[in-house]
């Protein structure tokens, strides 16, 4: 069992900003997912522990430069979520050499969810128990170019959060076996991938801004603002997630698709002095009728660390092979 002290050491770097993350070190944050059903913007039902999540950050410095690996995985527990089976994974591998631009690869998959209202969500609970449809994405940015590929596939029956590493391996293997799907390319000079962009913003001090990032075929940007949240700071201190008196920031952001003008919003809370500065709480509303809150919790971090480290081995090779011809 991981002690609270050990969990806090993994959750964030030492509180003094001057003490950064050592070379070759990683951090893990585990989350409990709570759900709120909303009707006409008013909450009508709340349930705790409907799912789980994990965020992984690794920095490794060497004579050749710096490598970052960032990953996030989350999913529902059907026995706690009225049978709803939703899960996904997204990760990035970034290489930065001295006197050269960053090179990045990313890969992710998530279950397809087309429900637009509560009635459609109810019907989805009673659909067949066959394969599980998912969407995968992979991309690479280097030499000023960005290439990405989006694919639809179906995982075998029984796919779910409890076996998500196995699902990740199957989704990655499909990249080499699916029928060709035209990849999309665009300029990428000076623009970073999504998780990398977010990690950089959380260590900055600006109160608001707009920041482009790379993900998929369409240009995207984050429109964000941040402010101190003393109430959240007291809550996290009471749960021993931060030291008493720590200034916790509330970071609100809209993701804007420049081509479709689509917009999605999320909010997270973090300690800006920690290195890396990882979210203590995440809130998002994937559907008009559903709000999700991810709260940092204690977990078996050695097992989580091994799982997240191994997840990169599952997709880096297949994704590189698919994208190599276009770069």
Q: How many domains does the chain have?
A: 1
Tracing tokens 């690869």 back to the chain, one arrives at 105
Q: What global pTM score does this model have?
A: 0.86
Q: Which domain holds residue 259?
A: 4-324
Banded model confidence at residue 23, pLDDT cuts 50, 70, 90: low
Per-residue pLDDT reduced to its tens digit, 145-195: 898 988 899 999 999 999 999 999 999 988 865 544 455 666 666 789 999
Tracing tokens 């944050």 back to the chain, one arrives at 29
Give the span between the Cα atoms of 249 and 269, in whole angstroms.
Answer: 6
Per-residue pLDDT reduced to its tens digit, 250-273: 999 999 999 999 999 999 999 999
The confidence score (pLDDT) of residue 176 equals 66
Per-residue pLDDT reduced to its tens digit, 64-99: 889 999 999 999 999 998 888 999 999 999 999 877
Decide which of 210 and 12 is more confident. Answer: 210
- Do the beta carbons of residue 46 and residue 23 sit within 8 Å? no
Report the greatest alpha carbon distance in the chain. 57
The confidence score (pLDDT) of residue 8 equals 36
Give the span between the Cα atoms of 202 and 251, in whole angstroms.
Answer: 8
As a residue count, the chain comes to 327
Q: Is 224 helix (H, G, I), strand (E, B) or coil?
A: strand
Reported for 193-197, long-range contacts at CB under 8 A and 24+ positions apart, including other chains, are 193/92, 193/94, 193/104, 193/106, 193/139, 193/141, 194/90, 194/92, 194/106, 194/220, 195/70, 195/71, 195/72, 195/90, 195/91, 195/92, 195/106, 196/68, 196/70, 196/92, 196/94, 196/102, 196/104, 197/222
The confidence score (pLDDT) of residue 19 equals 39
- Do the beta carbons of residue 280 and residue 242 sit within 8 Å? yes
Assess whether pLDDT exceeds 80 at residue 229.
Answer: yes
């Amino acid at each position: 069992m991981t002690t609270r002290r050990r969990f806090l050491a993994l959750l964030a770097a030492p509180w003094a900003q001057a003490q950064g993350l050592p070379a070759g070190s990683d951090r893990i944050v585990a989350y409990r997912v709570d759900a709120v059903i909303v009707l006409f913007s008013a909450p009508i039902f709340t349930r705790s522990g409907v799912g789980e999540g994990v965020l992984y950050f690794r920095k490794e410095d060497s004579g050749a430069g710096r490598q970052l690996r960032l990953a996030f995985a989350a999913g529902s527990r059907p026995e706690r979520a009225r049978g709803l089976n939703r899960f996904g994974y997204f990760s990035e591998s970034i290489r930065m050499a001295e006197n050269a631009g960053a090179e990045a690869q990313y890969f992710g998959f998530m279950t397809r969810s087309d429900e637009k209202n509560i009635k459609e969500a109810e019907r989805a609970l009673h659909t067949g128990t066959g394969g599980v449809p998912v969407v995968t994405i992979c991309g690479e940015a280097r030499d000023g170019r960005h290439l990405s590929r989006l694919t639809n596939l179906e995982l075998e029956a029984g796919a779910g959060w409890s076996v998500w590493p196995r699902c990740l391996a199957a989704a990655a293997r499909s990249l080499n076996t699916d029928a060709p799907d035209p990849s999309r390319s665009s300029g990428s000079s000076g623009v970073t991938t999504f998780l990398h962009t977010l990690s950089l913003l959380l260590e900055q001090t600006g109160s608001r801004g707009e920041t482009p990032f790379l993900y998929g075929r369409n240009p995207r940007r984050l429109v964000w603002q941040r402010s101190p949240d003393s109430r959240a700071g007291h809550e996290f201190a009471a749960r021993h997630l931060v030291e008493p008196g720590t200034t916790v920031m509330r970071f609100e952001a809209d993701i804007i698709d420049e081509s479709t003008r689509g917009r999605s919003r999320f909010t997270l809370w973090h300690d800006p002095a920690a290195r890396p500065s990882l979210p203590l709480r995440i809130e998002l509303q994937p559907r008009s009728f559903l709000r999700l809150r991810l709260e940092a919790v204690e977990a078996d971090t050695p097992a989580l660390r091994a799982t997240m480290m191994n997840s990169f081995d599952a997709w880096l090779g297949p994704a590189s092979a698919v994208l190599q011809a276009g770069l």
